[in-house]
Amino acid sequence: MYELQKLTNEIEETTSRKVKLLGTTCAGKPAVFLYLNDWLVHTYFLDELYHEINTLSFIINALAFGKNPVEF
């Protein structure tokens, strides 16, 4: 969970957007809702969450710090 918090903090600092993760169950499996600025972005099952958040972090960093940076 520490790594997830670290990634969400990095996304918040880079984009100035609020990241919120809410947990629930879906078909008996743990699931997490990912919100950016109180907008539901995606629903992840817990076993795929770290990989997906890590991918999102790489994309944000590439857009923010690449050759032609994108302002968030």
Whole-angstrom distance, CA of residue 42 vs CA of residue 26 = 14
Whole-angstrom distance, CA of residue 31 vs CA of residue 28 = 9
Bridge partner list, 25: 30
- Stated pTM of the model: 0.60
pLDDT one-digit tens code per residue, 4-43: 788 788 888 887 888 888 889 988 888 888 888 899 988 8
Q: What residue spans of the chain are helical by DSSP H?
A: 2-15, 46-65
**What count of other Cβ atoms lies within 10 Å of the Cβ of residue 31?**
17
Terminus-to-terminus CA distance in the chain, angstroms? 26
Helix (H, G, I), strand (E, B) or coil at 17: coil
